[in-house]
A and B are shown apart, each in its own frame.
Chain A
Amino acid sequence: MYRETTIVADENQNLAAKEAGDFIINVGPQHPATHGVLHLVITLNGETIKKVEPHLGFIHRSIEKMCESLTYRQFIYVTSRMDYLSSHINNHACALCVEKGMQVEIPGRAKVIRILMDELTRIASHELWLGAMAMDLGAFTPFFHTFRERELINDIMEETCGARLTMNYIVPGGVMQDIHPNFQKKVKDFVKQFTSKIGEMDEIVTGNTIFQNRMKGVGILSKEDAVSFGCTGPAARGSGVSCDTRKIFPYEGYEKLQFDEILENGCDSFARYMIRIREMQQSIRIIEQLIDNIPEGDFQAKTKAVIKLPKGEFYQRVETARGQFGVFIVSEGGTTPYRIKFRSPGFSNLSALDHMARGSKLGDLVAMMGTLDLVIPDIDR
């Protein structure tokens, strides 16, 4: 039933659209700049991009189909494998959606732990993005500097969740186990180190003239287009679209916290870059508010071993590091979802790439992909 994929997908269609002087190159599925198995067919005129055509599916595991045969407790673990850089937030969305169906109130301690973990994950994701994007632009060194801080977060996660990347720490009803006794101390150490080292990034990356020239005025995405293409997260906020789910549709008690939604009006890659840098500082703000105020009590509400959701439709959206992540469950009343749909931020953000890239140079495409922060398993699901 499965046939081998040809390397140049849709060769005939491309040839039909090809004009004299066009130069078609394949970026991916194995290419250092795509950070995964994204395949872009790029039509070039010299160095200028005429068209970018994404071909997906190289890491498509059909998670939506898999979830149809997994129970409500099991399917959360699969979602860690979608956007592996914010796996914790994915789990959070699924747990919230299931809890919405169960109509269970989770303890305050679990809520605070979940938010703390969310924000730590967001910082870790942005740190990795920063290093990887600088590497795309040819600067290798920032990667190691950002990983130095990210490592601390991974250590914290390892102690408390038992895993460093796919945490699987959140279960319907709360969190899997209580936090490690060292948790608060380690998080405070991390916050201290992070705030003292973030200036280093400004010196080596933000202030660099070459870097600014590569970012400013590149990958313009106007506000209207950002909305129309369904962009969310830093990609849309860089165009001045106020779309932070934590502010608009608060969940899990984000409405009680003091933090700003970061907006920039540059509409270019540099604006998207600045959004993420400043967002990390807001995440630190949230962590500082909560780390000393973790309420005592249970870390998990009492739930039945086998979860059954009533017949109906449940939707929950959260803000991951890349944008709005939504879980849509159609339940027929059984122990497994009848149909599940993940609204992944990367998929919508990717659809804007062609629009952004047209007319710019090949080297800029890398900067655009970098600032859209594409995570391929999130796009392919």
Chain B
Amino acid sequence: MGQMISLSEISKIIDNWLRATFNPTWTLIIEMVIAGVCVIGLFAVLGLVLVIMERKVSAWIQIRLGPNRVGPKGMFQSMADTVKLLVKEGLTPDGADKFLFNLAPLIAIVVAMLLMAPIAFARDFQMWDINIGVLYVSAVSSVMVISILMAGWASNNKYSLLGAMRSGAQIVSYELSAGLSIIAIVILTGSLSFNEIVHSQVDGWWIFKGHIPVLIAFVIFIIAATAETNRAPFDLAEAESELTAGFHTEYSGMKFALFFLAEYVNVFIVCAIGATLFLGGWMPFHIGSWQGFNQVMDYIPSSIWFMGKTFFLIFLIMWFRWTFPRLRIDQLLNLEWKYLLPISMFNLLLVTAMAILGWHF
């Protein structure tokens, strides 16, 4: 391909060198360690980048400057915030269930890490090409709600409990329509593997070649993803003006930071999944028979394509947050059970018919 050195080639070089130097068991162990370090590194970078991005995006929407003191144009602000959170005292309330209270942020962060595994970041660059990738993601992501319930319950705070209960109702409901809109793509592709889903879009992304049903599925997915990550306008679990901070009212210092980080990483993950399923993952943008154009597009590295699409979706979700007011709990559940779920079920029928009749491109 066009680019000289890609992420997949780097990983291949490392793999070959390790195989030549160590025996297969040690190779595997060392590769796992490298992957783990990479994930933790990615976490840190994502946390820093997304926080500063959110603050800059909100500042841009709200006609103000945003952070502009630390570093060039305030770019190191989130670094300074991280240091502050690291050295801050982590309070545990007297009445709290200490074990669960401390466990909850860990679960949140571990779930977010597990979700990283099957995501294809670039061409042939994936930690674990599991053949049931989509199923794995939907299964593991539902563990997230346990950490929130745990945090709400263990805090021994009424705001936290209310926030956790709201969050439980919300995530369980919205997982349905998120799942149904993902299944639409699975039906069209005939595979649960992220790698194969990306490869099925080599001649066009699903959002373009899937006609209106896929477009509907995409919109529902974005709404459900926003709700599942507890972002405004569905941030009832935190609902600052109602429940002060919802389930993490009692958390401070690094434990709070872990929740905060998990929230942003989850946003990244759902956007990455959305980009993979609907926008072709790392596939470049091609237009039918425009050879020259397609070659130029191919020249852009696949990791840039993937990140570009993901960050576009993240921007979209941030845009929601800074524009819309919050829904009320009954309106939130009405939206899901009365509108999104029936629509996505009917939509699924259309997609199935479309897939059987081969109407997509």
**CB atoms of A and B under 8 A apart anywhere in the complex?**
yes
A residues neighboring B (CB under 8 Å): 23-25, 31-33, 47, 134-141, 143-145, 148, 204, 208, 210-211, 213-214, 361-366
Q: Which residues of B contact A31 (CB under 8 A)?
A: 244
Query: What's the minimum C-beta distance from A362 to chain B, rounded to whole angstroms?
Result: 6
Q: Is the CB of B328 within 8 A of A144?
A: no
Which residues of B from 337 to 351 have beta carbons under 8 Å from A?
none
Contacts of B241 in A (CB 8 A): 32-33, 135-138, 366
From B1-9, B139-147, B207-215, B319-327, the one touching the partner chain is B319-327
A-B contact list, 12 entries, CB within 8 Å: A33-B242, A47-B166, A136-B241, A138-B233, A138-B235, A138-B324, A139-B326, A208-B324, A210-B233, A361-B330, A362-B242, A364-B328
Binary A-proximity of B306-331 (CB < 8 A = 1, otherwise 0)? 00000000000000001111111111
Closest 10 CB pairs of A and B: A138-B326, A139-B325, A137-B325, A144-B62, A33-B241, A363-B328, A136-B241, A25-B158, A138-B325, A211-B325
A211: nearest chain-B partner, CB-CB: B325
B159 contacts A25, C-beta separation under 8 Å: yes
Which among B166, B236, B239, B324 has the greatest number of chain A C-beta atoms within 10 A? B324
Cβ B327 vs Cβ A210 within 8 A: yes
> Complex formed: what's the CA distance from A141 to B328 in Å?
19
CA distance A33 to B61 in the complex (A): 23
Once the chains bind, are A32 and B240 in contact (CB under 8 Å)?
Answer: yes
* Cα(A145)–Cα(B61), bound, Å: 10
Expressed in whole angstroms, the minimum distance between the Cβ of B33 and any Cβ of chain A is: 42
Give Cα A138–Cα B329 distance, bound, in whole angstroms: 13
Please, which residues of chain B bring their CB within 8 A of the CB of A144? Answer: 62-64
Contact of B323 among A24, A139, A143, A213 (CB under 8 A): A139
A213-B323 Cα distance, complex, nearest whole Å: 16
Q: Are A148 and B63 in contact (CB under 8 A)?
A: yes
Given A25-B159, A25-B162, A144-B62, does the pair A363, B325 have CB atoms closer than 8 Å? Answer: no
With A25-B162, A139-B324 already in contact, 8 other A-B pairs whose C-beta atoms are closer than 8 Å: A32-B241, A32-B244, A47-B166, A135-B241, A138-B326, A141-B58, A210-B233, A363-B329
Interface string of B254-295 (1 = CB under 8 A from A): 000000000000000000000000000000000000000000
Chain B residue numbers with a CB within 8 Å of A211 are 325
Least CB distance, A9 to chain B, in whole angstroms? 16
Query: A25-B158, A138-B233, A141-B322 are contacts. A366–B327 as well, Cβ < 8 Å?
Result: no
Instruction: Check B232 for interface membership: any CB of A closer than 8 A.
Output: yes
A-chain residues with CB within 8 Å of residue B162 when the two chains form the complex: 25, 47, 362
CB distance from B329 to the nearest CB of A (A): 5
Contacts A145-B63, A361-B329 given; indicate if A140 touches B158 (C-beta within 8 A).
Answer: no
Cβ-defined contact, A210 with B242, below 8 A: no
If over half of B's interface residues share one DSSP class (helix, strand or loop), that class is named, otherwise mixed; here it is: loop
User: Which B residues are in CB contact (< 8 Å) with A134?
Assistant: 325
Q: Determine the distance from Cα of A273 to Cα of B330 in the docked complex, in whole angstroms.
A: 22
A25-B158, A32-B240, A33-B242 given as contacts; is B62 within 8 A of A141 (CB)? yes
Q: How far is the CB of A23 from chain B (nearest CB, A)?
A: 7
**B residues less than 8 Å from A365 (CB atoms):** 242
Chain A hits for B242, CB < 8 A:
33, 362-363, 365-366
In the complex, residue of chain A having the shortest beta-carbon distance to the beta carbon of B321: A140
Residues of A near B166 (CB, < 8 A) are 47
Residues of chain A within 8 A of B328, CB atoms compared: 213-214, 361, 363-364
Establish whether residues A210 and B58, one from each chain, have CB atoms under 8 Å apart when the complex forms.
no
Complex Cα–Cα for A145 and B64 (A)? 10
| B61 to A: closest C-beta gap in Å | 6
- Determine the chain B residues whose CB is within 8 A of the CB of A47 once the complex forms: 162, 166, 329-330
Q: Which residues of B contact A361 (CB under 8 A)?
A: 328-330
Residue pair B61, A141 in contact (C-beta under 8 Å): yes
In chain B, positions 142-172 with a C-beta closer than 8 Å to chain A are 158-159, 162, 166
Contact with A along B238-256 (1 / 0, CB 8 A): 0111101000000000000
Distance in Å: Cβ of A330 to nearest Cβ of chain B: 41
CB-defined contacts of B63 to chain A, threshold 8 Å = 144-145, 148
Which B residues lie within 8 Å of A362 (CB)?
162, 242, 329
Report Cα–Cα, A362/B244, bound state, in Å. 13
Residues on B with beta carbons closer than 8 Å to the beta carbon of A138: 232-233, 235, 239-241, 324-326
Closest CB-CB distance, B154 to chain A, in whole Å?
18
On chain B, the residues within 8 Å of A366 by CB distance are 241-242
Chain A residues with CB under 8 Å of B326's CB are: 137-139, 210, 214, 363
Whether A214 contacts B325 by the Cβ 8 Å rule is yes
B58 and A140 contact, CB distance less than 8 A: yes
A208 to B61: give the CA distance in the assembly, Å: 17
Q: Give the Cβ gap from B113 to chain A, nearest Cβ, in Å.
A: 30
Q: Which residues of B contact A23 (CB under 8 A)?
A: 158
Across the interface, name the chain B residue whose C-beta is closest to A148: B63
Report whether B329 and A140 are in contact in the complex, using a CB–CB cutoff of 8 Å. Answer: no
B239 surroundings in chain A (CB, below 8 A): 138, 363
- Give the CA-CA distance A279 to B330 in the complex, in Å: 32
For the complex, give the distance between the alpha carbons of A144 and B94 in Å.
Answer: 39
Would you give the 0/1 interface string for B123-145, flagging 1 where the beta carbon is closer than 8 Å to chain A?
Answer: 00000000000000000000000
Tell me which residues across on chain B come within 8 A of A213, comparing CB atoms: 327-328, 331
* A140 & B62 in contact (Cβ 8 Å cutoff): yes
Which single residue of chain B is at the shortest CB-CB distance from A145?
A: B63
Q: State in angstroms the CA–CA spacing of A361 and B232 once bound together.
A: 19
Instruction: Tell me, in angstroms, the Cα distance from A144 to B328 when the chains sit together.
Output: 23
- In the complex, chain B residues whose CB is within 8 Å of the CB of A140: 58, 62, 322
Q: Please report the C-alpha to C-alpha distance between residue A363 and residue B331 in the assembled complex, in whole angstroms.
A: 11
- Which residues of chain A are near B236, meaning CB under 8 Å? 363
CA distance in complex: A213, B158 (Å): 27
Q: Which of A144, A148, A213, A363 has the most CB of B within 10 A?
A: A363
Contact at B244–A210, with CB atoms within 8 Å? no
Report the separation of the CA atoms of residues A47 and B322 in the bound assembly, to the nearest whole angstrom: 26
B325 touches A210 (CB 8 A): yes
Within the complex, the shortest CB–CB distance from A27 to chain B, in Å, comes to: 8
- Least Cβ distance of B334 to chain A in Å? 10
Q: How far is the CB of B115 from chain A (nearest CB, A)?
A: 27
In the assembly, what is the distance between CA of A138 and CA of B58, in Å? 14
Best-surrounded residue of B63, B242, B325 (most CB of chain A within 10 A): B325
Give bound CA distance, A47 to B332, whole Å.
Answer: 13
Chain B residue with minimal CB distance to A140? B322
- A residues less than 8 Å from B327 (CB atoms): 210, 213-214
CA distance A363 to B329 in the complex (A): 8
B335 to chain A, nearest CB (A): 10
Chain A nearest Cβ from B54, distance in angstroms:
12
Q: Is the CB of B64 within 8 A of A141?
A: no
Residues of A within 8 A of B322 (CB): 140-141
